Amino acid sequence: MYLIAGLGNPSKQYENTRHNTGFMAVDFLVEKLGLPKFQLKEKFKSEISMAEYDGKKIIVAKPQTYMNNSGSAVQALQNYFKIQPENLIVVYDELDLPLGEIRVHQEGSSAGHNGIKSIITYISTDKFNRVRIGIRNKNAEKVPAEKFVLSKLSFFEKRKMKKEILPQVMGEILKLISG
């Protein structure tokens, strides 16, 4: 069984912000694979979609705990479904990478990302899969990081996200599941 957690912040005000790139990625995945619509599950502090893909059970989650406390939702899902850390895939925005660059890692530090820091703290390991999606553009250095990540994607960035970036992210996730 695999847990794919897309990180972001719940509520309308954060829709289409750079910090919600993880939510965008799992929304895209669920839509393109024709998985069941997300449903809020309070006991998991998440919206989840469960299905079978390529003969494997998958849970796709959007923690509703806000980015900085993502670990509590991931831990609740991991414990209940007995997901091994190597079968956890976390998808999130990465300010240190240019828009559209994607990096996949199996372990490592949080690199200052508060959502990842929270997950490492709650599940007591850094040995899980990460799909990092670059969000940096030429304006990133002009504003404080906190303000930049919470700003909305431009029309052109949204289009690039849907047409180019999210399909690539989906491919990386499916590679991790298929082994």
68 is in an annotated binding site: yes
Helix, strand, coil percentages (3-state) for the chain, rounded to 5, are 45, 25, 25
Active site residue 105: no
Distance, CA of 116 to CA of 162 (rounded, Å):
24
What does R_g of the chain's alpha carbons equal in angstroms? 15
Helix (H) or strand (E) holding 63: strand 56-63
In 10 A of CB 114, how many CB atoms?
17
2 is in an annotated binding site: no
Distance, CA of 111 to CA of 109 (rounded, Å):
5
19, 45, 113, 130: the active-site residue:
19
14 is in an annotated binding site: yes
66 is in an annotated binding site: yes
Active centre residues (catalytic): 19
For the annotated binding site for tRNA, the residues are 14, 66, 68, 114
For the annotated binding site, the residues are 14, 66, 68, 114
